[in-house]
Amino acid sequence: MKTTINIISTVLYALLLLLPASLSAAEQITVKTKFIESSKRAIPHDLAKLAKVKGIDIMTAPSVIIKSGQQGQIEVIREHQPASVAPSVFKPVAVGTTLRVTPHLKGDKIAFTFRFTVSELITNNAPEGQTRSEISSRDLYVSGTCKDGEEVWFDYLDPNSAKKITVWMLLTTK
C-alpha cells in the first residue's frame, strides 16, 4: 500500500511539474518573417518561385517567439549618426525596417495586428554647398486572422523611392 501511494504521489508530482510547462508552450507563438526588396519587379507570393527570380533580394529572415497577447519586435536597422553632429549631443537614429506584431490565439486560429515601419535617411543638397539630411518614417498598420501555420504576405510600396518591400510571415504555435 505504501509503495502504491509513493508511485501515485510521484506521478502527481511529475504531472504538476509538467503541466505549467505544457500550458505555457501552448501560449507561445513563433513568428517567422522574410523581408524581400525589389525596385523593378513584381514579387511573387510563393517562396519556391521567389528563389528563381533575379533582381529580388531577401534582406533578412528573422523570427521571434512571443506569448499570445504580447508584442514582439523584429528590426532590420542600422544606427545613423550624422558626421557633423557631436555624438555626445545627439543620439544615433535607427534607419531601416521594424515590424511590431501582437498575435492572439483564438481557438484554432491566430489573430494578429502589426505595425510595419520604414525609416530612411534622405539627403538633399542645401545652398552654399551644404548637405541637409532628414529621417523619413512611414507606418503601415495591418490586422488579420490566419490558421496556425498559414503564410501571410503583404506588400509595401515606398512612395519616396519606388522600392517595393514584401513581408512574408508564418505564425505557428509549434
Q: Amino acid identity, residue 160? A: N
Q: Which three cell numbers stand for residue 31?
A: 513568428
Query: H or E stretch including 135?
Result: strand 131-147
The whole model's pTM is what? 0.71
Judge contact between 143 and 111, C-beta under 8 A: yes
Query: H or E stretch including 136?
Result: strand 131-147
**Which pLDDT tens digits describe the chain residue by residue (174 residues)?**
444 444 444 443 444 444 444 444 558 999 999 888 887 667 888 888 877 777 777 777 888 999 999 999 998 888 877 666 566 677 777 888 899 999 999 988 999 999 999 888 887 777 777 777 788 888 989 999 999 999 999 888 877 667 788 888 999 997
Q: Amino acid identity, residue 44? A: P
